[in-house]
Amino acid sequence: DTEVTQTPKHLVMGMTNKKSLKCEQHMGHRAMYWYKQKAKKPPELMFVYSYEKLSINESVPSRFSPECPNSSLLNLHLHALQPEDSALYLCASSQDSTGVNYGYTFGSGTRLTVV
Amino acid sequence: AQKVTQAQTEISVVEKEDVTLDCVYETRDTTYYLFWYKQPPSGELVFLIRRNSFDEQNEISGRYSWNFQKSTSSFNFTITASQVVDSAVYFCALSVYGQNFVFGPGTRLSVLP
């Protein structure tokens, strides 16, 4: 299995809703990442988990809450989002937290719309 | 600090034309890695190639080729005989050991039938 699987593929939520994005990989990768990508822009790093511990938080607002229940799963809990948070949310994994040796494997993303 | 520039925002070509996507990077580290990713309309980022700073050999993979020149800090990507399926956004990225990827702004390639 050489994939990163993200669910759901599309999500529409209201500003008072609570929802979660899910990411799963079974490649034995020990680092997992959340990226946010706005239209016509490159992905922007949000969080890095290395060996199931949060190692980087790129000053992301607290309405985004990551969770890594085990080495194969990564969640992103969403609460009280704003319309400007609408974007494509990409999950990625790599063998280790540097990601340099083999690059990142990306999922196909969750396209989030906040109404 | 690391930086990646892709000067071409959008390129349109007609099918079967060759096209080169430019990538210029900046880093003070002597050990670094360069990548190209393809993002089709479906959204996922597809890994195309990785190159380390000590390997300046050009690489060819089917219709794809890459030209790495440290002297000009460039890592350009050429698609030969382009096809409609090559239409996508292409990102060049730089990684220095111990730090995360720096993506370029991307080049949107449209291949017209």
Tell whether A57 is within 8 A of chain B (Cβ). no
pLDDT score at A108: 92
Ranked by mean pLDDT, the top range of A13-17, A22-26, B46-50 is: A22-26
* Contact between chains at A42 and B105 (C-beta distance less than 8 A): yes
The alpha carbon of residue B101 is apart from the nearest alpha carbon of chain A, in Å, by 8
pLDDT score at A48: 92
Q: State which amino acid sits at residue A98.
A: T
The alpha carbon of residue A14 is apart from the nearest alpha carbon of chain B, in Å, by 23
Q: Calculate mean pLDDT across residues A16-20.
A: 94
Which residues in chain A have their CB less than 8 angstroms from residue B95's CB? 98-100
DSSP class of residue B48 equals: E
- Considering only the C-alpha atoms of chain A, give the largest distance between any 2 of them, rounded to a whole number of Å: 41
The partner residues of B39 in beta bridges, in order of sequence, read: B89
Tens place of pLDDT per residue across chain B (113 aa): 889 999 999 999 999 999 999 999 999 998 899 999 999 988 889 989 989 898 888 888 899 999 999 999 999 999 999 999 999 999 999 988 766 788 999 999 999 99
Backbone angles phi, psi at A70, to 5 degrees: -155, 180
Ranked by mean pLDDT, the top range of A2-6, A99-103, B99-103 is: A2-6
* Contact between chains at B100 and A48 (C-beta distance less than 8 A): yes
Contact A30, A40 (CB under 8 A): no
pLDDT in tens, A74-99: 999 999 999 999 999 999 999 877 76
